Chains A and B, each alone.
Chain A
């Protein structure tokens, strides 16, 4: 753990304004320590990979990517572009690459370090979660610097998605802490993509620690898609903390396919009446990976709505973890909260650990949850093979059919086809 927390003051910009907050983050992380199997929120996901592993933040005063000497880098290789038009915000090895954002009128983007000059923006930091409950978000706070502030103005409806492209190139044991603050003002509508990918040696070891804080205003709607396709020895820990105001809607889909250890945690607070959220996800892996999908939806106000559909496919000796919590506060009446998790185990050594939790303190609520894992249906497999389809192809067809229900929740067809093709 020592390696993760050294020399915080020496990193990057000299930002006196941030020192107090960084110090709080540092202290919070040190007092929590790395989660152990005894930490309830982490009981299924071991972070052994991190102990005694010296990940380092690149020692550079230059905020730009320093990997241009490499053959493949996001800066030079356009194959990391998306197959559809989007406003692109690029990060390479933990550093923001954009000089300009080319965003339409009414949409504002600033590097975090500049945005903090505005006390109203600074005030939003760490307000969407309690860092004493999220050790890695505390660590992220201790290293706060890289990331952007993005504001979509009142009633602005974006014509194409905003894509955050997070690229890591092989080589060093890089440690990146990124923080993005996203605000949708009243009536704003947008689509946002987070795409994590790498180039270079697939065995690259690196650690991405990402926090997104998202504030959704009245009548505003954000469709949020995250694709985690990190190198297979990488560590990826992400918190997406969202607050939704009256009649606002946070709709999200997350695909996890890469990394050796990954946890994507989505925490949505439905603060005001008629706020809605959909938190859908797919995880697929082989090998030895541990992929964790954790959700926490808090219904604080009446007439709020949440739905979750999570599907997993686990082979090899990999381990999937799903923890899903729905919390309904005492005054939050006439609520609907649904959660469904299904996983497919493809081998005897594959494992899925599931922890659904309902905390209901109101009486007029409709809640459902279901969690199950199973194997491929032998009758279906036989049927396909008996028509001449090879065993492996038949398995693939059934796996795709199983997952497809979750992919169908992605409303934007270009995004859906792209995510399915990954």
Chain B
């Protein structure tokens, strides 16, 4: 039995006084794509932030192991360098930081961590352009400051490009489809699918089933009241689309 890529056991986490994640369990093996679906406000985004180490969330009990190592004790950047990547729901704008410089720093930080030689500017730009071309993403966006003035669709394209360039072992998509038109959605899904190689894993967090038409999950979990209340295959997503989440919320209430 190989070590699972991600193993979350009895996780409890809170933001301030509010307990958001309660007794959460999930195991993701290499190459698997898991979807977590749930009603708004259930704490889906909190789960993604807790996994990436965002400040402001306190883990009160439980454990998270990534590649068999304790994830909770790692810094934000260590998690990223170890191969965790989050496509954010609302990527922040960073005026004054050119995207090219930012992404080059990121690429080289991760390469250094993996004992690979750092890329010079020429090699980096060539690599990014090629990656962008394969995904149908215009690298012109790189000339602008990070996310500044980008439309919702452009921001998600940029997130996808970053993911493809940084080649994580596990990508978390936090509501990657929110505010996207169908074209942008296809680009994002295309980017994710191009990274599916039987080894990389994905955790797709979404409210709607729509995204899962493009990124076909191996497993679907229903997240409510702080933990997974039901698991199944891709058909569970269709069922949820039809019946809604009321059943799960009512059950608990």
CB within 8 Å of B: which residues of A? 377-380, 382-391, 393-394, 397-398, 400-402, 404-405
Contacts and interface: CB of A to CB of B under 8 A. Distances in A.
B95 A401 contact: yes
Contacts of A383: 88, 91-92, 94, 146
B93 to A, nearest CB: 8
Interface string B48-64: 00001111100000000
B96 A382 contact: no
B96 A385 contact: no
A402 B105 CA distance: 18
B232 to A, nearest CB: 30
Interface in B105-137: 105-106, 109-110, 113
B77 interface: yes
Interface in B150-188: 162, 166
Given A386-B86, A397-B102, A380 B80 contact: no
Contacts of A397: 97, 101-102, 105
A400 B92 contact: no
Contacts of B85: 386-387
B81 interface: yes
B105 A389 contact: yes
Nearest to A405: B96
A380 B96 contact: no
Given A383-B91, A400-B96, A388 B86 contact: no
B97 A388 contact: no
A377 B91 CA distance: 13
Nearest to A379: B92
B229 to A, nearest CB: 28
Contacts of B77: 385-386, 388-391, 394
Nearest 6 pairs between A and B by C-beta? A401-B96, A385-B76, A388-B80, A387-B106, A388-B109, A388-B110
A385 B146 CA distance: 14
Contacts of A402: 96
Contacts of A394: 77
B75 interface: yes
Contact of A385 (B56, B80, B97, B162): B80
30 contacts: A377-B92, A378-B55, A380-B92, A382-B76, A383-B94, A384-B102, A385-B75, A385-B76, A385-B80, A386-B52, A386-B79, A386-B80, A387-B102, A387-B103, A387-B166, A388-B80, A388-B113, A389-B77, A389-B102, A389-B105, A390-B109, A393-B109, A397-B102, A397-B105, A398-B94, A398-B97, A400-B97, A401-B94, A401-B95, A404-B96
B2 to A, nearest CB: 25
Nearest to B109: A388
A386 B105 CA distance: 12
Given A378-B55, A382-B54, A387 B91 contact: no
Contacts of B80: 385-388
A245 B77 CA distance: 56
B106 A389 contact: yes
A402 B52 CA distance: 26
Contacts of B55: 378, 382
Nearest to A385: B76
A395 to B, nearest CB: 12
A398 B145 CA distance: 12
B10 to A, nearest CB: 25
B109 A389 contact: yes
Contacts of B97: 384, 397-398, 400-401
Contacts of A389: 77, 102, 105-106, 109
Interface string B221-244: 000000000000000000000000
A384 B97 CA distance: 10
Contacts of B96: 400-402, 404-405
Contacts of A387: 80, 85, 102-103, 106, 109, 162, 166
In this complex, the member of B79, B80, B110 whose beta carbon has the largest number of chain A beta carbons within 10 angstroms is: B80
